[in-house]
Amino acid sequence: MSSLHFDERVAIVTGAGNGLGRSHALELARRGARVVVNDLGGSLHGDGQSTDAAQAVVDEITAFGGTAVANRDSVATEEGGRAIVQTALDEFGRLDVLVNNAGILRDKAFHKMDGAMIDAVIDVHLKGTLFVTQPAFRAMREAGYGRIVNTSSASGLFGNFGQANYGAAKAGIAGLTRVLALEGAAYGIVANAIAPIAATRMTAGLLGDLTAHVTPEGVSPVVAFLAHEDCPVSGAVYSVAGGRVAKIFVGETSGAILEELTAEAVRDQLSQIEDQSTYHEPTSLDMATAIIARALS
């Protein structure tokens, strides 16, 4: 079997100064990609900009003979997103791969969460992914080729106490990924997402016995596959942790057609509405609408 190389390819990895992003950047660089290592160098909560995390990872990459450049712009503003993408175009003349990974946490039970906590997390995760992806998508569309790997989370797809801001952002990123897959299809652009679990500063003290089994390096090969030209899927979300890779999908049950739609009829037929023994997995709104039209015809 041939191995997957990224020779001639240029990749951006956001939030690549620590944890998962650092591991993704190293993996892509080892496979020959020229990498823009983006990181603000802030704390887990998004404060400060003191450490030069991005340059430290660039130094690691150049030490093994790879090619990388540091960028310290924030993903959380439109100008920051533009500057990150421009760095790839200015330094390397092209952009083939975007890995949206930057992230922060501001956890609190929803009834105690203030507006600043909501803004900070939505800005970095959801708006940050939009702000970096839009200029990247435009460049990829023009080039007729692109690979986008977004970072969602089980927190948003399945729910997690204390993470209303983060969960909402991460579910939004999964939705964005599906739209990008549809809008990019005619232009050679493939977009997928991962929902990872890994021992990083973000999960310090939270993973218990799992900690030793779930390194960032147990996630990055999946990112490399999704970032490669050979990746045949688009619009998918994969759960990735410690060498386990599984598909997460959105399904719709075959449902029930209620002759007379009343609140009582919904109550009485809830088990049929919820019955998952047959289901559809639409990959677009058009497909979902066609399924409804067929059921009603």
Q: Catalytic site residues?
A: 166
DSSP annotation of 189 reads E
Window 218-237: residues binding ligand NAD (CB under 6 A)? none
In angstroms, the CA 92 to CA 34 distance is 8
Query: 67-71 and 34-38: which strand pairing?
Result: parallel
Binding-residue pattern over the window 5 to 24 for ligand NAD, x denoting contact by CB under 6 A? ---------xx-xxxxx---
Nearer to ligand NAD, 56 or 89 (CB): 56
Min dist. Cβ of residue 106 to ligand NAD (A): 11
Q: Which stretch binds ligand NAD (CB under 6 A): 179-187, 193-201, 224-232, 253-261?
A: 193-201
The distance of closest approach from Cβ of residue 40 to ligand NAD in the complex, given in angstroms and rounded to an integer, is 4
CB 155 within 8 A of CB 183: no
Is 123 or 145 the residue whose CB approaches ligand NAD more closely?
123
Alpha-helical (H) ranges within the chain are 19-30, 53-63, 78-92, 115-121, 128-143, 154-158, 164-184, 220-227, 263-268, 270-274, 285-296
The CA distance from 104 to 186, in Å, is 34
Q: How many CB atoms lie within 10 A of CB 31?
A: 19
> Total binding residues for ligand NAD by CB under 6 A?
33
Shortest spacing between CB 201 and ligand NAD, in angstroms: 5
Q: Which residues bind ligand NAD (CB under 6 A)?
A: 14-15, 17-21, 38-42, 44, 46, 53, 74-76, 101-104, 124, 128, 151, 153, 196-198, 200-203
